[in-house]
Amino acid sequence: MISSGKIDRIKHLTKELNRLNYLYYVQDVSEITDYDFDMLLKELEQLEKDTGYSEPDSPTQRVGGQVTKQFESTAHLFPMLSLSNVYSVEELADFFTRCEKAAEGDSEFICEPKYDGVAISLVYENGLLTRAVTRGDGQKGDVVTSNVKTIRSIPMRLMGSGYPQLFEMRGEIILPFASFEKMNQERLDNGDDPFANPRNAASGTLKLQDSSVVAARGLECMLYVCMSDEPVADTHAGMLEKARSWGFKINNYMRICRGVSEVEAYLNEWAEKKNTLPFAIDGTVIKINSIAIQDKMGFTAKSPRWAVAYKYKAEQALTKLLSVDFQVGRTGVVTPVANLEPVQLAGTTVKRATLHNADVINQLDIRVGDSVYVEKGGEIIPKIIAVEQSLRPADSVPFNYATYCPECRTLLQRNEGESAWMCPNDEGCPPQIKGKIEHFISRKAMNIDSLGEGKVELLYDKGLVRDVADLYSLRPESLIGLEKIFQDDAMGKTRVVRLQEKSVENIMKGIAASKETPFEKVLFALGIRHVGETLAAKIARNAGTMDALMQMSAEELVQIGDVGEVIARSIVDWSNNLSHMNLISRLKSAGLRFEAEKEELLSEKLNGLTFVISGTFSSPSRRNELKELVEKNGGKMASSVSAKTNYLLAGENMGPAKRQAAEKLGVKIIDEPEFLSMIG
């Protein structure tokens, strides 16, 4: 029997943590430290595990963990229409005329930024968030509730009172620039192509299968309308103030504008201010404020007549392409970078721009000496979008992409199905070697922070470190007194890195401490292409040891959640490389940990058995609880049904593909009660 005291504590912690979440993510107020918040959250997680009970708005759902292989489609309560676009004040004239006619005089408008993200509908029933749905075709969209719940500014239970029994809160899922830059850097570090702009990144993130990965991405949501059969307020502004009182994060950028002149002033103001925001916008939305006039004006088949989107033209600049450099990343990907005559663009001076890859250069027919148009993709990454052919020099010649690595002169190669050219000399190409070492010591990997700020390059240049295993052979006496002068070409300044006794002592302590780093972080630190931090942890838990991982076939690897064929092949190729085998042997001798910590098992009743879970269960967290029960009783989890699967644990609405595979292979299908009886 579950203790009533534990249930009361769960309810109290849920309410208190949601209140603190609201203060921090909506009101920007912090009542307690991050550590104290985490301790309360851990207490709640443990209580929920012990009792099997959780509130529907439990904040533990915000850390993610639910895996969705197929996104269910559902109808919207109200059609999600798009807005008509205009690109100049002159084009707005017809809209203003219609509004004044409906209002029988001057109209009152609401103006607010048009967020450059992914439209989302949040459905609330009796104050609880029950589902989140993408726009889709406007009539139906994909259910992405578990991913949206990771966005901490979105309330899972509403505050106050007066909200409709059933309504949709609509907004835009966005990725702030800071999160976008961090994500792209991680993708580059893992050998993946970066996202072109924050909107694409937000869209891709929202449809990820693992909500724990979504939780780490830093999505945000900007809300702008409440859709309900019950009247909420007389004006759009009033409706948003009501929504604010229910716990929604409503932006402070909107403004009530009385008449055309005030609207035009807002447009002119934000044409400049849009570059100061921490996220991307691509225009201004102009709406009639009066709900009664909105109802009177109605809709076309595609859009409301009482609202319009004024789109800002992407800022462009014309400048000259002076030269092209080729940069080599730690995974060997060679990226072309354009050197430009300095030009002002969106408030900054642009001197360099990405050219992405050879396909982009060929498509645009870019040549050195061309006059090129540059714009900021998503207001953040400068890129060349076109060539001004009329200004092309008479002696212009087509651009020849690099054939050999600019650093080690190895012949470049291009893998089938990939756009990037790569240097295959991963053991002899200096930027690849230094990049691998820098990745190895990074905070999220081995966390040897005492080796930062140019020290890796110093050790490499002095011949002391040629791979990560060399770090564990370093001796203090060979380090003291080493120095290197770094020239900062951009600023014309120099800086000196010199190893003195104290810094050497810190380096040796950091290297020694790194031997206690858990296996999943060591695996991430090795820098296997396409294996990021989250995926490394999953692989480490499933494989158990590095020896077992290096013996796994591609077919076995794809059974691990989120490991696709490309990633599996990358791991197998890495493991079969003799130099990598030698590297692991040396790192083992140095004392690094290549075995996952074994969790204390509840029993060994499922030893040797492999399970696949499909369908929905009694609560969003129940699926993860069942996975944990499998593993804590000695079993293994797989993501897809194969000949090695012993049981398919089925909930409601099980995926038809998994059922068919199980029936074809003779895999036994069981439900939750049958599974629980297996483990007693």
Q: What domains, with CATH codes, occur in the chain?
A: 4-63 (1.10.287.610), 73-311 (3.30.470.30), 316-400 (2.40.50.140), 430-516 (1.10.150.20), 519-590 (1.10.150.20), 610-679 (3.40.50.10190)
3-state secondary structure of 447: coil
User: What is the band of 193 on the pLDDT scale with cuts at 50, 70, 90?
Assistant: low
Task: Say what percent of the chain tops pLDDT 70.
Answer: 93
* pLDDT recorded at residue 499: 87
Which helix (H) or strand (E) is 673 found in, with range? helix 672-679
Question: Which residue reads 């008479």 in tokens?
Answer: 394
Cα 79 to Cα 303, 304, 353: the distances in Å are: 10, 11, 41
Q: Say if residue 65's pLDDT is above 70.
A: no
Q: What is the mean pLDDT of residues 49-67?
A: 74
More confident residue, 240 or 54: 240
More confident residue, 31 or 333: 333
More confident residue, 623 or 463: 463
User: What is the band of 490 on the pLDDT scale with cuts at 50, 70, 90?
Assistant: very low
Which amino acid, residue 649? L
Contact 644, 638 (CB under 8 A): yes
Phi, psi of 650 (to 5 degrees): -105, 135
Strand order in the sheet with 307-311: 85-86, 307-311, 281-288, 108-115, 255-258
| Residue from 15, 42, 69, 114 carrying the catalytic annotation | 114
* pLDDT recorded at residue 42: 81
- Alpha-carbon distance 386 to 82, whole Å? 29
Question: Which residue reads 């904040």 in tokens?
Answer: 59
pLDDT by residue (tens digit) across 518-540? 999 999 999 998 898 878 988 99
SS3 of 450-485: HHCCCHHHHHHHCCCCCCHHHHHHCCHHHCCCCEEE
User: CB neighbours (10 Å) of residue 636?
Assistant: 20
How would DSSP label each residue in 147-193? HHTT-TTS-SB--SS---SEEEEEEEEE--HHHHHHHHHHHHHTTPP
- Sign (positive/negative) of CA torsion 419, 424, 429, 431? positive
User: What is the band of 602 on the pLDDT scale with cuts at 50, 70, 90?
Assistant: confident
Nearest to 618 by CA among 54, 199, 242: 54
* pLDDT recorded at residue 25: 66
Q: What is the mean pLDDT of residues 548-564?
A: 88
3-state secondary structure of 562: coil
pLDDT by residue (tens digit) across 395-419? 999 999 999 999 999 999 998 777 8
pLDDT by residue (tens digit) across 498-520? 888 988 999 999 999 999 999 99
User: What is the band of 69 on the pLDDT scale with cuts at 50, 70, 90?
Assistant: low
* pLDDT recorded at residue 491: 42
Contact 44, 10 (CB under 8 A): yes
439: left (phi over 0), alpha (psi -120 to 50) or beta: alpha
User: What is the band of 28 on the pLDDT scale with cuts at 50, 70, 90?
Assistant: low
Q: What is the mean pLDDT of residues 341-359?
A: 83
Q: What is the mean pLDDT of residues 2-6?
A: 76
Least confident of 232-236, 381-385, 646-650: 381-385
Q: Say if residue 620's pLDDT is above 70.
A: no
> 2-20: buried (b, 16+ CB within 10 Å) or exposed (e) per residue?
eeeeeeeebeebbebbbeb
Beta strands in 500-654 (DSSP E): 610-614, 636-637, 647-650
More confident residue, 235 or 230: 235
Q: Parallel, antiparallel, or unpaired for β 166-174 and 73-75?
A: unpaired
- Alpha-carbon distance 9 to 574, whole Å? 49
User: What is the band of 89 on the pLDDT scale with cuts at 50, 70, 90?
Assistant: confident
Contact 87, 311 (CB under 8 A): yes
* pLDDT recorded at residue 387: 94
3-state secondary structure of 281: strand
User: What is the band of 240 on the pLDDT scale with cuts at 50, 70, 90?
Assistant: very high
Which amino acid, residue 286? I
Task: Say what percent of the chain tops pLDDT 90.
Answer: 44
Nearest to 317 by CA among 356, 341, 351, 344: 344
* pLDDT recorded at residue 67: 53
Cβ-in-10-Å burial (0-12, 13-18, 19+) of 104 comes to: exposed
Question: Which residue reads 């895999």 in tokens?
Answer: 667
Q: What is the mean pLDDT of residues 528-557?
A: 90
Q: Say if residue 87's pLDDT is above 70.
A: yes
Cα 270 to Cα 224, 378, 461, 614: the distances in Å are: 18, 16, 50, 48
Contact 121, 76 (CB under 8 A): yes
Which amino acid, residue 671? D
Residue 114 catalytic? yes
Nearest to 471 by CA among 524, 512, 520, 428: 512
- Alpha-carbon distance 437 to 466, whole Å? 9
Least confident of 300-314, 567-581, 620-634: 620-634
* pLDDT recorded at residue 173: 93
Looking at every residue in the chain, the average pLDDT score rounds to 86
Least confident of 61-65, 367-371, 440-444, 553-557: 61-65
pLDDT by residue (tens digit) across 273-305? 887 888 888 889 999 999 999 988 888 767 899
* pLDDT recorded at residue 46: 85
Residues 6+ apart with CB under 8 A from 22: 155, 159, 247
More confident residue, 199 or 477: 477
Contact 512, 448 (CB under 8 A): no
Phi, psi of 12 (to 5 degrees): -65, -45
Least confident of 69-83, 214-228, 564-578: 69-83
Cα 594 to Cα 289, 525, 537: the distances in Å are: 62, 12, 12
Question: Which residue reads 């060591």 in tokens?
Answer: 522
* pLDDT recorded at residue 109: 95
More confident residue, 585 or 25: 585
